Amino acid sequence: MTDHTDHTARAKQWFETLRTDICNAFESVERDAGSDASFEFTSWDREEDGNDHPGGGVQGLMKGKVFEKVGVNVSTVSGRFSPDFASQVNGASAENPGFTATGISLVAHMANPHVPAVHMNTRFLTTEKAWFGGGADLNPPIPYDEDTADFHAAFRAACAGHNPTYYDRFKKWADEYFYIPHRQCHRGVGGIFYDHLECDDDAAFERNFAFTQDVGKTFLDIYPKLVRRRMESGFTDGEKLQQLEWRGRYAEFNLVYDRGTLFGLKTGGNIDAILMSLPPEAVWT
């Protein structure tokens, strides 16, 4: 079996670099809006009985003029899944519940309802298997066809550089995953979602790592452009209410269906970091 210690270290380093680049880009948007808001970073340590190296992470949080609340978190953890949860994870079992995981997770909720909220995460996990997963999806309270088209075009191009089947497959996966069954609606206008890009050997790791890096770079390129396009738009009380009602749907999905939320809770993650995806304000009417 391939030793993925070096692979995990390289993925961790990339996620931390991407975190820095994204935070700098978002702070630059705030400066353009006349705000001095900056990210505040809080480290946390994971605890697990009998584990001397359980890992931890850093939560980055900014509340500004444009970004009402944005979290950019990086974590690297290792340990053993509980027997019941191990059976739900690729390559893990009650007999072999060990794992390592490193990744970046981002959610941005915007002050202006015309600016789309967004979610992005990429991760590298090892059990008896090793794989990359992640994606990005756009979540506008007030959708604009131009924004949707540009977001999808960016990720279509990123996928095309690696595998001609990726975009159609991963777009469909996102459409199916980010659906709220009890509301019979989608959480947003989609994007891409992928999982279990397995790394059986060094060549597969390099191939899937390169794709995962391009997902992060693509997000860093396209999303600030969409924010700047809409952040000075005027809005009405009715449009703000539309945003707050939409945020309620977003919260419902993340609390009821989101696998990342469940993974964090089941592996002893930091509660504040796990739930940073929830909006700062929402309404249910």
Q: Which residues are designated catalytic?
A: 119
Q: Where are the alpha helices (DSSP H) in the chain?
A: 5-32, 83-86, 145-160, 166-177, 202-230, 237-256, 259-266, 271-274
Q: Alpha-carbon distance 246 to 283, whole Å?
A: 8
- SS3 percent helix, strand, coil of the chain, rounded to 5, is 45, 25, 30
Tokens 């960016």 sit on residue: 154
Half-sphere exposure of 53 (CA within 13 A, CB side): 6
Q: Which residue pairs, CB below 8 angstroms and at least 24 apart, start in 148-157?
A: 148/189, 150/222, 150/225, 150/226, 151/189, 151/191, 151/222, 151/223, 151/226, 152/190, 152/191, 154/218, 154/221, 154/222, 155/191, 155/192, 155/215, 155/218, 155/222, 157/218
Q: Alpha-carbon distance 239 to 2, whole Å?
A: 53
Q: Alpha-carbon distance 126 to 92, whole Å?
A: 9
